[in-house]
Amino acid sequence: MNKQELTAFCTEWLAAWTGNDPDTLVSYYDENALYSDPAHRDGLKGKEEIRRYFVKLLDVYRDWKWEPVEVFPIDSGAIVKWTCEIPVGPEVIHEIGLDIVEIANKKITRNEVFFDRTRLVASIEKSRRDQRLINL
């Protein structure tokens, strides 16, 4: 894929992370894909294992939004710099991160996600504490 095609692919793929539709999201992945993120550093292998994770993840984060900032072509796919908005309770966390995305036959064969999730974890913990206080 050329840079324009990669940018279009990555824009569509990142948009599929919003809306709690794991089947649409996983359709971008190859049957034998490898996926890793800060919660799964050793990686998930194969489309079905990745789908099981996406089902849970997207159910929790139905309204987050992902957009590419820059797409850097590499021989095997792209490095994607992205921004996202993650609603957690009344707060919205804004993050910037990078993905290594290897692509073959218009399917992702390897996806490694890198971002600092410190603010996200702190916000989740705060939201849980606040909810416990409300329930007292």
What domains lie within the chain, and their CATH numbers? 3-134 (3.10.450.50)
Distances from the Cα of 97 to the Cαs of 7, 14, 69, 70, 82, in angstroms? 16, 12, 10, 11, 5
pTM as predicted = 0.87
- Token output for 42: 């050793």
By mean pLDDT, which of 23-37, 51-65, 120-134 is the weakest? 120-134
What are the residue ranges of helices labelled H in the chain? 3-15, 22-26, 47-60, 118-134
For the chain, what percent of residues have pLDDT higher than 70?
93
The CA dihedral of 25, 42, 39, 102, to the nearest 10 degrees, is -40
32-82: pLDDT as tens digits:
999 999 999 999 999 999 999 999 999 988 899 999 999 999 999 999 999
**Structure tokens belonging to residue 89:** 């309770």
